[in-house]
């Protein structure tokens, strides 16, 4: 049994591991309550100008990625995307939301929207930097 290293896992590779994990998790949780989410703002030629991706798992909204193009920054687009995700989560009976962000990213932005720091991972991804894990009651 050899370990195979790849620096470029395929979508199929990732899918197989995800399915294996979900099959294991079935004994502990209702995996039917795991729902991927995507909220997007598209330009005139259907290119992405902003978006939020995440999932709902049980009672939790998980925000994975939030990005707003330079052209739309400062126009409350990020806040609108977060609000849309939270509204959908509430509609699906979620009670909490979770996000993580790096020290060079958006901690004050999330705190302004009501997220609270749960814990900090120091020296990630590099010495002197941090990863912040924030939650919010919905």
pLDDT at residue 64 tops 70: yes
Span 78-92, pLDDT tens digits: 999 999 999 999 999
The pLDDT value given to residue 88: 97
Which domains are delineated in the chain?
Answer: 32-137 (3.40.630.30)
Partners of 35 in the β-ladder? 56
Q: Count of H helices and E strands in the chain?
A: 3, 6
Average confidence score pLDDT of the chain? 94
Could you give the C-alpha distances from 41 to 10, 78, 83, 133, in angstroms and in order? 27, 10, 14, 26
Q: Extract the tokens encoding 1.
A: 């049994």
pLDDT at residue 138 tops 70: yes
The pTM (predicted TM-score) of the whole model is 0.85
Span 14-62, pLDDT tens digits: 999 988 988 898 888 776 678 899 999 999 999 999 999 999 998 999 9
CB 35 within 8 A of CB 62: no
CA atoms within a 13 Å half-sphere pointing along the CA-CB vector of 10: 3
The pLDDT value given to residue 31: 66
């Amino acid at each position: 049994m050899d370990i195979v290293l790849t620096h470029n896992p395929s979508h199929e590779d990732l899918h197989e591991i995800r399915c294996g994990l979900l099959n294991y998790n079935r004994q502990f949780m209702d995996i039917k309550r795991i729902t991927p989410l995507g909220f997007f703002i598209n330009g005139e030629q259907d290119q992405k100008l902003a978006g939020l991706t995440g999932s709902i798992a049980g009672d939790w909204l998980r925000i994975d990625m939030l990005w707003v193009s330079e052209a739309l920054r400062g126009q409350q687009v990020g806040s609108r995307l977060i609000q849309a995700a939270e509204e959908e989560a509430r509609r699906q009976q979620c009670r909490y939301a979770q996000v993580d962000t790096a020290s060079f990213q958006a901690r004050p932005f999330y705190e302004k929207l009501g997220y609270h720091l749960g814990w900090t991972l120091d020296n990630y991804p590099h010495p002197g930097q941090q990863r912040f894990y924030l939650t919010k009651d919905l």
